[in-house]
C-alpha cells in the first residue's frame, strides 16, 4: 500500500490531464452501457409486428418512443453512442498517456539526480549495470503502472459500474444470478497477482545482472580479447540469459493460465444466467427483448472484469519495479548540514585532527594528526593497502571520517557545503576519467563560463596544446569513450589541463604518472610541476623518485603515520621509507 501511495503522490502535477482523462472514462463507460442497452430495443424494433407498439429507449421508463419514429431514432442513437464512445476512448488514452509519460519522466529524472547525490561508498557495493537497469528497465516497467494500468482500472471499473446499473435496472434477479461466479474469481486473481510480482522481481534482478555483465565485458574488451576470454564471458552472459528466459516463461505461464481461468468463471456465470432466464421466460415473467439487452450487458460486463485481471498482473510487475526504484531513492544522500558555510579558498592550512576511518568493520586509518600549511607539498607513501587513497578521499568528503575531524582554516569540513568544498579541490588520478565529447568540453568540464583563451592557456600549461592542435579537428575533436582515441600520456595531460583550468587551491595527485612510459611521464611531470605551483598538494606515489622534492613525506603503515620528514631525513632513519626506497632502486 505504501508503494501505491508513493506512486499516486507523483500525479498531482498532472491533475488537469488526469481529470480530463477521468471525464473521458466516464463518457466511455456511459456510452458502453448505452450500447448494451440499445440491443434489446433494436431486436424488438426489427422483429416486432405490432404497428402501434412503442419501445422504451431509456431505462427506468424515462422516455418512450412510438415505433413509427424508431426507424430514425434507433440508428441515430447508435451513431451518437458510437461517436461518444470513440472520442471518449481516444481522449482517455491520450490524456492518461500524457500523464504516464510525464510521471515516468519525472521519476527517471529524480532517480538519476538521487543516484548522483549518493555517497561514493554506495557505488563501491552496487554494480554500474544494476543501477543502469534500475534507471531504464525498471522505470519502463513502472510506466505500465502509472499510465496503462491506472487508466485500465478506472475505465474498466467505471464500465463495470455502468453495466451493473444497466443489468440491475433490467432485472435485478437475473443480475444476482449472473454475479454468482464473481466471488469465486477473487482468490485466483489475488494469488496470480502475487505470483507475478515475485516472478517479476526475480526477472528485474536478472536484467540488472545481465546489464552489469555487458557493461563489464564492453568496458574491459581489451583484457577480454588479450586473455582470449570471449568464450568465458559469453558463457557467463548465457547463464544469466537462460535464467532470465526461464523467468519470462514463468511469466507467460501465469498470464496464460489467467485468461482461461477467468473465462471458465465467466462461463459458470453465463450458464447460471441462461438457465434462470429460460425458466423465467417459460413462465412469462421475463420479456425476450429484456433478456437480449441483459445478455448483451452481461457479455460486456465480463470483458472489463477479464481486463482487470490482466491489468492486475501488469500492476504487480510495475509494483515490483517501483519497489526497486524506491529502494534506491530511499538510500541516504551525502550528508549536507543545513545552513553550512561556503568555503572560499585556503588561507592557512588543512588539518587532520585525531582522524580515524573504519570501512566494513576494519580500521583503515587510526588517530591521524597532521597539519599541512597553505602551499605545502605533502607526499604520502606506503605499501599497498596502507590507506593512502583513503587518506586523500577524506579531504573532499568522498567518505566521512569515523572519528576526529578534518579542518580547513580551523573550520570542520562537515560544517562546509559540499559544493563549495569540492570546488576548492582538484584531483588528478592514475585512472583518468574523460567523456565521449570534444577535447574542449573535457578540459572545460564543470566550467560555467570558460573562454577559449583560458582553455588554451590551461592546455599549454599542461603541455597538451601541441598534440591537441595535431588532432583532426583540434579542440573540437571527439576523443571517444574514456578518451580511447588518445594515448595514456595525452589523456593524463588533458586531465591535468582540466585541473589547471579549475584553479582549485587544494590539489590531490593519486598515482598520476605510475601508468606512463618514461617519455610520457617526463611530459606529464612538467605539467604537474606547473599545476602544483602555489597549491596545497597531496601527492600519492609508488615511484619514490617523484616525491623527492616534496616539502614533507609521511609514511603510512597499519593505518598510522609511522614516519614523517623530508626525503634525506627519512633515508637516514633507515626505517620503512628507507626499506621501500631500497626495494625500488636496489632490488
List the beta bridge partners of residue 358.
Answer: 363
Greatest mean pLDDT among 7-16, 183-192, 322-331, 508-517 lies in: 322-331
Cβ atoms of residues 428 and 510 within 8 Å:
yes
What cell was used for 312?
Answer: 492486475
Contact 355, 36 (CB under 8 A): no
| Higher-confidence position of 459 and 224 | 459
The DSSP 8-state label assigned to residue 548 in this structure reads T
**Sign (positive/negative) of CA torsion 373, 379, 384, 389?**
positive
The answer, yes or no, to whether residue 67 has pLDDT greater than 60, is: no
Residue range(s) of every CATH 1.20.1560.10 domain in the chain: 2-329
Place of cell 557467463: 236
Please tell me which residue, 320 or 364, carries the higher pLDDT value: 364
Q: Going by DSSP bridges, is the β-strand pair 560-565/552-557 parallel, antiparallel, or unpaired?
A: antiparallel
DSSP notation for 163-191: HHHHHHHH-HHHHHHHGGGHHHHHHHHHH
What's the confidence (pLDDT) of residue 340?
79
Average pLDDT over residues 62-83: 68
- What pLDDT does residue 60 have? 40
Segment 78-90 mean pLDDT: 86
- CA pair distance 277, 275, nearest whole angstrom: 6
CA-CA distance, 421 to 409, in Å (whole number)?
12
Higher pLDDT, 305 or 100: 100
Does the pLDDT at position 33 exceed 60? yes
- CA–CA separation, 570 vs 353, rounded Å? 23
Specify the 3-state DSSP secondary structure of 399: coil
3-state helix, strand, coil in the chain (%, to 5): 65, 15, 20
pLDDT of residue 368: 92
CA 307 vs. chain centroid, Å, equals 29
pLDDT digits 0-9 by tens, 192-204: 777 877 887 788 7
Q: Taking the complete model, does pTM exceed 0.75, yes or no?
A: no
Distance, in Å, from the CA atom of 443 to the CA atom of 459, rounded to the nearest integer, reads 8
* Closest to 333 measured CA to CA, from 274, 397, 253: 397
Q: Which of 28-32, 279-283, 507-511 has the least mean pLDDT?
A: 279-283
Report residue 43's pLDDT band, with 50, 70 and 90 as the boundaries. Answer: low
Residue 21 scores a pLDDT above 90: no
Beta bridge partners of 539: 379, 509
Q: What is the pLDDT of residue 211?
A: 81
Rounded CA separation 540/546 (Å): 10
**pLDDT tens readout for residues 216-229:** 787 777 778 777 78
- 408-422 residue pLDDT tens: 998 999 999 888 898
Length of the chain: 587
Where does residue 135 rank: exposed (0-12), middle (13-18), buried (19+ CB within 10 A)? Answer: middle
User: Over the Cα atoms of the chain, what is R_g?
Assistant: 36
Residue 343 grid cell: 568555503
Instruction: Classify strands 54-58 and 63-66 as parallel, antiparallel or unpaired.
Output: antiparallel
Identify the CA nearest to 443 among candidates 465, 425, 471. Answer: 465
Fold of 349-586: Rossmann fold (3.40.50)
Grade residue 55 by pLDDT with cuts at 50, 70 and 90: very low
pLDDT at position 62 is 40
Instruction: Kindly tell me if the per-residue pLDDT of 262 is higher than 60.
Output: yes
pLDDT higher than 50, residue 51: no
Q: Is the pLDDT of residue 513 over 70?
A: no
383 has pLDDT over 70: yes
Provide the grid cell at 262.
Answer: 477467468
Residue 353 above 90 pLDDT? yes
For residue 63, what are the CA distances in angstroms to 66, 79, 81, 170, 410?
10, 19, 17, 15, 88
Round the average pLDDT of the chain to a whole number and report it.
80
d(CA 112, CA 99): 20
Residue 575: left (phi > 0), alpha (psi -120 to 50), or beta?
beta
The residues of the chain that CATH labels 3.40.50.300 are 349-586
Write the class of the CATH domain 2-329: mainly alpha
Q: Which of 134-143, 189-198, 291-300, 504-513 has the lowest mean pLDDT?
A: 291-300
CA dist., res. 587 & res. 583, Å (int)? 5
Amino acid at each position: 500500500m505504501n508503494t501505491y501511495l508513493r506512486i499516486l503522490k507523483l500525479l498531482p502535477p498532472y491533475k488537469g490531464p488526469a481529470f480530463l482523462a477521468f471525464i473521458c472514462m466516464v463518457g466511455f463507460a456511459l456510452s458502453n452501457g448505452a450500447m448494451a442497452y440499445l440491443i434489446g430495443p433494436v431486436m424488438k424494433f426489427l422483429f416486432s409486428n405490432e404497428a402501434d407498439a412503442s419501445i422504451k429507449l431509456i431505462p427506468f421508463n424515462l422516455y418512450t418512443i412510438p415505433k413509427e419514429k424508431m426507424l430514425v431514432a434507433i440508428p441515430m442513437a447508435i451513431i451518437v453512442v458510437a461517436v461518444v464512445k470513440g472520442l471518449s476512448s481516444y481522449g482517455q488514452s491520450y490524456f492518461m498517456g500524457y500523464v504516464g509519460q510525464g510521471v515516468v519522466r519525472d521519476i527517471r529524472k529524480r532517480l538519476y539526480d538521487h543516484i548522483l547525490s549518493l555517497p561514493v561508498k554506495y557505488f563501491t557495493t552496487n554494480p554500474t549495470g544494476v543501477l543502469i537497469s534500475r534507471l531504464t528497465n525498471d522505470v519502463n516497467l513502472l510506466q505500465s503502472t502509472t499510465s496503462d494500468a491506472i487508466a485500465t482500472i478506472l475505465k474498466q471499473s467505471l464500465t463495470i459500474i455502468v453495466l451493473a446499473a444497466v443489468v440491475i435496472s433490467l432485472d435485478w434477479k437475473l443480475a444476482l444470478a449472473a454475479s454468482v461466479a464473481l466471488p469465486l474469481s477473487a482468490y485466483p486473481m489475488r494469488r496470480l497477482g502475487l505470483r507475478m510480482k515475485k516472478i517479476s522481481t526475480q526477472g528485474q534482478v536478472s536484467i540488472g545482472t545481465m546489464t552489469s555483465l555487458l557493461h563489464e565485458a564492453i568496458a574491459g574488451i581489451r583484457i577480454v580479447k588479450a586473455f582470449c576470454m570471449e568464450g568465458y564471458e559469453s558463457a557467463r552472459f548465457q547463464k544469466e540469459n537462460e535464467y532470465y528466459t526461464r523467468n519470462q516463461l514463468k511469466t507467460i505461464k501465469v498470464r496464460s493460465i489467467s485468461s482461461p481461468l477467468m473465462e471458465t468463471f465467466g462461463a459458470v456465470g453465463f450458464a447460471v444466467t441462461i438457465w434462470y432466464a429460460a425458466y423465467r421466460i417459460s413462465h412469462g415473467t421475463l420479456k425476450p427483448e429484456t433478456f437480449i439487452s441483459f445478455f448483451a450487458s452481461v457479455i460486456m460486463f465480463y470483458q472489463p472484469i477479464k481486463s482487470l485481471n490482466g491489468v492486475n498482473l501488469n500492476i504487480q510487475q510495475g509494483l515490483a519495479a517501483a519497489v526497486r526504484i524506491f529502494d534506491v531513492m530511499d538510500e541516504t544522500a551525502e550528508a549536507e548540514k543545513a545552513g553550512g558555510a561556503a568555503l572560499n579558498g585556503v588561507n592557512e592550512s588543512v588539518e587532520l585532527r585525531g582522524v580515524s576511518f573504519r570501512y566494513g568493520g576494519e580500521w583503515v586509518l587510526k588517530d591521524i594528526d597532521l597539519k599541512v600549511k597553505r602551499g605545502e607539498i605533502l607526499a604520502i607513501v606506503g605499501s599497498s593497502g596502507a590507506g593512502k587513497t583513503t587518506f586523500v578521499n577524506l579531504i573532499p568528503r568522498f567518505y566521512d571520517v569515523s572519528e576526529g575531524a578534518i579542518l580547513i582554516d580551523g573550520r570542520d569540513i562537515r560544517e562546509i557545503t559540499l559544493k563549495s568544498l569540492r570546488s576548492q579541490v582538484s584531483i588528478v588520478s592514475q585512472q583518468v576519467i574523460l567523456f565521449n565529447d570534444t577535447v574542449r568540453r573535457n578540459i572545460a568540464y564543470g566550467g560555467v563560463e570558460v573562454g577559449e583563451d583560458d582553455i588554451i592557456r590551461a592546455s599549454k600549461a599542461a603541455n597538451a596544446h601541441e598534440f591537441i592542435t595535431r588532432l583532426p579537428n583540434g579542440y573540437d575533436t571527439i576523443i571517444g569513450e574514456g578518451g580511447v582515441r588518445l594515448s595514456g600520456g595525452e589523456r593524463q595531460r588533458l586531465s591535468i589541463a582540466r585541473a589547471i583550468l579549475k584553479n582549485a587551491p587544494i590539489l590531490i595527485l593519486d598515482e598520476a604518472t605510475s601508468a606512463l612510459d618514461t617519455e610520457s611521464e617526463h611530459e606529464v611531470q612538467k605539467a604537474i610541476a606547473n599545476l602544483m605551483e602555489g597549491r596545497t598538494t597531496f601527492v600519492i606515489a609508488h615511484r619514490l623518485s617523484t616525491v623527492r622534492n616534496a616539502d614533507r613525506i609521511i609514511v603510512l603503515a597499519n593505518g598510522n603515520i609511522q614516519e614523517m620528514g623530508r626525503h634525506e631525513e627519512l633515508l637516514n632513519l633507515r626505517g620503512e621509507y628507507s626499506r621501500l626506497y631500497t626495494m625500488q632502486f636496489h632490488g
